[in-house]
């Protein structure tokens, strides 16, 4: 059961009400920018292994790994309310524009504990 709102909207690129089918990769990331109309930028952080720095001395290189990220533009249907910092699940679909090849499937708000994020401070 998807967690989108049931409403009357017209969006032919929506995976629930439109003609777009989801096939291929299903990815998770964080909404980095929500300034475009019906499009967000999803940031995915990952570690890349560098063989040269497989030493145990420098802690800045994370024992041979370096931090990298990738930005993926994704279409957002009007049934979702996405803000910067929210965790999103995106699915691959056909090319929707010059750069957009993914569609938002699920939104996990930044304050909720649904995605195993950072622990919230609890005052005692």
pTM beyond cutoff 0.75: yes
Distance CA 124, CA 122 (A): 6
Q: Who wins on pLDDT, 13 or 111?
A: 13
Distance CA 40, CA 43 (A): 10
Neighbours of 66 (CB within 10 A): 12
pLDDT in tens, 95-116: 999 999 999 999 999 887 655 5
Chain-centre distance for alpha carbon 57:
34
Nearest to 44 by CA among 60, 22, 26, 59: 26
Residue 60 has pLDDT above 60, yes or no: no
From residue 7, alpha-carbon distances to 10, 19, 21, 37, 88 in Å are: 10, 17, 20, 19, 20
Residues 66 and 51: beta-carbon distance below 8 Å = no
């Amino acid at each position: 059961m998807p967690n989108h709102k049931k409403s009357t909207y017209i969006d032919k690129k929506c995976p629930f009400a439109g003609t777009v089918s989801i096939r291929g990769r299903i990815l998770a990331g964080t909404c980095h920018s929500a300034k475009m109309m019906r499009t967000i930028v999803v940031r995915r952080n990952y570690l890349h292994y560098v063989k040269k720095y497989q030493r145990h001395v420098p802690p800045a290189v994370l024992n041979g790994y370096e931090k990298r990220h990738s930005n993926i533009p994704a279409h957002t249907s009007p049934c979702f309310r996405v803000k910067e910092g929210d965790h999103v699940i995106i699915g691959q679909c056909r090319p929707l524009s010059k750069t957009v090849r993914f569609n938002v499937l699920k939104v996990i708000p930044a304050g909720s504990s649904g995605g195993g994020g950072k622990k919230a401070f609890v005052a005692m």
